[in-house]
Amino acid sequence: MSSSYLPHRLHEGPGALRSEHDPASETKPSDAEEIGPGVSGHEGSASPSLTGRGVLLAWILSIGLHIGGLGATLLVVFPFVGTQKEAPPSALARVVGDVDAVAPPPSQITELPQQSAAPDALDRLFRPDATRAAEAIEQLSGTSVQKQPELSIVGIVAGGGDIARGGLTLGGGAGPEFFGLGATAPGVRTIVFVVDRSGSMVGTFAAVRAELKRSISALRRSQKFHVIFFNSSDPVENPPMRPVNAVDANKREFFEFLQNVTPGGGTRPERAMRRALALEPDLIYFLSDGLFEAELLDRLDEWNRTRRTKIYTIAYLDQSGRKLLESIARQHGGEFKFVTDDELP
C-alpha cells in the first residue's frame, strides 16, 4: 500500500479504518443497536418496552383491581342481612265481624302445632259463612236472629239495621213510615213523597210539615228520599231535584227548604205523580185532602205499567177523594189510609 493512500483513509475517520482492517465490525451489531433505540445515545424518544417480569406484575395488579371492583358491586346489590329471628306462631282466634271482609291468603294463615291443637281448631278459622256469622251474633247478643228470605243486598243483617259505617244498609227490617203507612214494605231504598199543598191545606199544613220531618228523620242513611209538592201550578221539588241519601246534611237541607213551602191554589196531582214515577222509586207516598180528576187512574196505569213502584195513598182529613185514592193503592201494590184530626202530630 502506498503512503499516499493511507493518509486519505485516516482522514475519513477511525470508523472507516476499523471497517477496513477489522472484519468482525461488518457482522457484529453495535452496543447501541442491541440495547435499542429507546436507550441509545441518539436523539428522539420512544416508549420503553416491558420485560417479562414487568408484564407479570401488570397482570397481577389488573386482576386484583377487577376482583376488588366485583366485590364492591356485590356488596351494593346484595347488602349483608343478618339472620332474622322467626316470629312465634300466632294463635288463631274466633273472628266475628263483617262477612264481606276478604279472608287472608293461605300463605298468611299460621297453622297451630299438632300437639297443641284443640278439638275445635278448625272451627277457629274465619269463614264468610252466613249461617255461622248469624249464629255467632246470636250467641254474643243473646237474641235470636231472624233469617230474612229476601235481601236487597247480599249480606247478613240482624234486625235490618245499619252494618256499614259509611251508611250502607242492607234490605230487610221494617220499611219507612209516613202517617202510619209503609212498615209492611221492607227493603225499600228510594222513597218519593207527593204531597198536596192546595189552598184547602192552609189550616193543617203545619201538621204535614211535622210528619214529613219525623218520617224523613227516621230514614236510614243508605235510603234515598225526594219530596214533590203539588197544587194547580207547577210542582215544587226540594233541591237537588232528585232523590238523595238520607244523611244528616241532606236532611237538614230539606228541613230548611220545607219552611218556605206554603199552600195555595187548586188540586192537580197529575204532573207531580208523573214526575215521581219518572224517578223510578221503590215507593211513593201520595197524600191529598181533596177530589181530583179520575183520569189519573188511567195515567198511572200507563206510567207504572210494570208496577215496579208501589203507591201508598193517604186521604188527609177529607174523604171526598177516598175512592180514587183507594183504587190507586189497590192497583199499584200499596195501601190506603184515611187520616183523621185525632191522628195529627
**Could you say which DSSP state residue 316 is in?**
E
Taking only the tens place, the pLDDT of each residue in 33-69 is: 444 444 444 444 444 555 677 788 888 888 888 888 8
Taking only the tens place, the pLDDT of each residue in 283-332 is: 999 999 989 999 999 999 999 999 999 999 999 999 999 999 999 999 99
| DSSP-derived pairing of the beta strands 236-237 and 224-230 | antiparallel
Other beta carbons within 10 angstroms of residue 200's beta carbon come to 22
Q: How confident is the model at residue 136 (pLDDT cuts 50, 70, 90)?
A: low
Tell me how far apart the alpha carbons of residues 54 and 42 are, in angstroms, rounded to a whole number: 25
pLDDT of residue 33: 43
Angle at which helix 248-258 crosses helix 205-217, to 10 degrees, equals 180
Cell of 47: 416508549
Is the model's pLDDT at 25 over the cut of 60?
no
pLDDT of residue 74: 75
Tell me how far apart the alpha carbons of residues 169 and 34 are, in angstroms, rounded to a whole number: 105
In the predicted model, what is the mean pLDDT of residues 164-190? 71
Determine what percent of the chain is predicted with pLDDT higher than 70.
57
Is the model's pLDDT at 27 over the cut of 90?
no
Q: How confident is the model at residue 185 (pLDDT cuts 50, 70, 90)?
A: confident
**Nearest-CA neighbor of 161 among 248, 220, 217, 218?**
220
In the predicted model, what is the mean pLDDT of residues 17-31? 45
Set out the domains of the chain in order of their start, with CATH numbers. Answer: 124-166 (no CATH), 190-343 (3.40.50.410)
